[in-house]
Amino acid sequence: MARGWGFLIGLLGAVWLLSSGHREEQPPETAAQRCFCQVSGYLDDCTCDVETIDRFNNYRLFPRLQKLLESDYFRYYKVNLKRPCPFWNDISQCGRRDCAVKPCQSDEVPDGIKSASYKYSEEANNLIEECEQAERLGAVDESLSEETQKAVLQWTKHDDSSDNFCEADDIQSPEAEYVDLLLNPERYTGYKGPDAWKIWNVIYEENCFKPQTIKRPLNPLASGQGKSEESTFYSWLEGLCVEKRAFYRLISGLHASINVHLSARYLLQETWLEKKWGHNITEFQQRFDGILTEGEGPRRLKNLYFLYLIELRALSKVLPFFERPDFQLFTGNKIQDEENKMLLLEILHEIKSFPLHFDENSFFAGDKKEAHKLKEDFRLHFRNISRIMDCVGCFKCRLWGKLQTQGLGTALKILFSEKLIANIPESGPSYEFHLTRQEIVSLFNAFGRISTSVKELENFRNLLQNIH
């Protein structure tokens, strides 16, 4: 009987605890959970989930992509870092040594790269250079075949057309120089403060689509944007059409990716003998921790995955362009060029096999007149962002900002050129769609940066799980 009373008292006690709202105290969130608890499952506007991307990127794609980007064709990027800022004059140049970019000496760049503006065989490149020189003089050499004259004129027309999403860099300028990307890696340089803030503020506030009724800042780093206002801040985003919503998420994803790189290659220790670079967990948390960023950090990471899917989709679409027999990753080293093309095609076929690609058919699919205007607005906003990169005060940041912006712009150009790509001939020059070497190098290196970010998220997740 006493045992029965004990059971009844215990049962009544449990009922009282439940009715009084008492719950067993839950263990506090770990550091990893605060950054990544919301970064899982399906992404907004996509049928893909984060876990599928992690597995595909980190174990199937990342190692081969890094090997490709270390090759001569992809490591040398020509850029003009001395272009003036077109928007304001009060640029404070970063004086830190880590902000500097070391350009290549002339004899360091393979002759094939210096002599080849495009992407065909040595004979084709020489022919194209003659055509370009004639075009700059105001006419196409009439001694060329009618087919070649037509190709030159169409390439020129294409380069000047409204299909490009980036402001073309003046690589023919005497101030343009080749840079070895492997010797000038993207990492934390110490460039921060009002000048760095101004760049991102202008990108968000003046170039992301913003309803007239919204007066608050779009920049997620703006002060006064607390957790209590989070739903209010994002309500305007959810009300936008898919294209404008995607534009904001692309910029946010690019911003997040850059912050991941800076946190993963942080200057941890400096002596007069050496510098030690590595993962700065505190820096990562300040940028992505759910509590420290008042709910914003995990959203940034999800936008990074969204950007990954967009660039992945573009690479899957452009495969026919690279599959043509006369396309070469031309550096002048025939054996290496052939091996690199095989590796490139392996990577693109791997990307093609990805099971949950982003469906870009929803972009600009409405009324033709309205869709055309929306696409033009989309393009002009992005071109403007590419010009803002000339206002970055840190030269190394400017280098990687210009490259990644051009890479994303090239990806958008590919996505909106599907019909032109479908008409690419199996051999010979592509009249209606082509990519310059600059676009190819920026496209793959930009995706390489996003791929590296996804891989680094796994590293940070593991590091954070060890924090008690």
Catalytic residue numbers read 394, 397
Is residue 439 classed as helix, strand or coil in its secondary structure? helix
Question: What CA–CA distance (Å, rounded) separates 230 from 297?
Answer: 12
144, with CB counted inside 10 A (0-12, 13-18, 19+), is: middle
User: Can you say how many angstroms the Cα of residue 347 is from the centroid of all Cα atoms in its chain?
Assistant: 18
Question: What CA–CA distance (Å, rounded) separates 86 from 82?
Answer: 12
Q: Is 282 annotated as a binding residue?
A: no
Tell me how crowded residue 268 is: count the other CB atoms within 10 A of its CB: 12
55, with CB counted inside 10 A (0-12, 13-18, 19+), is: exposed
Q: Is 75 annotated as a binding residue?
A: no
E strand or H helix at 267, and its extent?
A: strand 266-270
Question: What CA–CA distance (Å, rounded) separates 285 from 296?
Answer: 12
Question: What CA–CA distance (Å, rounded) separates 86 from 84?
Answer: 6
**End-to-end Cα distance, the chain:** 47
> Quick one: three-class SS letters along 211-235?
CCCCCCCCCCCCCCCCHHHHHHHHH
- For residue 342, what are its two tokens? 């095989």
Q: What is the CA radius of gyration of the chain?
A: 25
Is residue 425 classed as helix, strand or coil in its secondary structure? coil
- Residue 408 has, within 13 A of its CA and on its CB side, a CA count of 29
Q: Is 400 annotated as a binding residue?
A: no
**Length, in residues, of the chain:** 468
Question: What CA–CA distance (Å, rounded) separates 267 from 436?
Answer: 35
266's torsion region: left (phi>0), alpha (psi -120 to 50) or beta? beta
Question: What CA–CA distance (Å, rounded) separates 366 from 319?
Answer: 27
Q: Is 23 annotated as a binding residue?
A: no
Is residue 174 classed as helix, strand or coil in its secondary structure? coil
Q: Is 461 annotated as a binding residue?
A: no
**Is 406:78 a contact under the CB 8 Å cutoff?**
no
List, as one string, the DSSP characters of 95-154: -SGGG---BPPGGGS-HHHHH-SSSS-HHHHHHHHHHHHHHHTTS--TTS-HHHHHHHHH
31's torsion region: left (phi>0), alpha (psi -120 to 50) or beta? alpha
Q: Is 245 annotated as a binding residue?
A: no
Annotated binding site for FAD: 187, 189, 200, 252, 255, 287
Annotated binding site: 187, 189, 200, 252, 255, 287
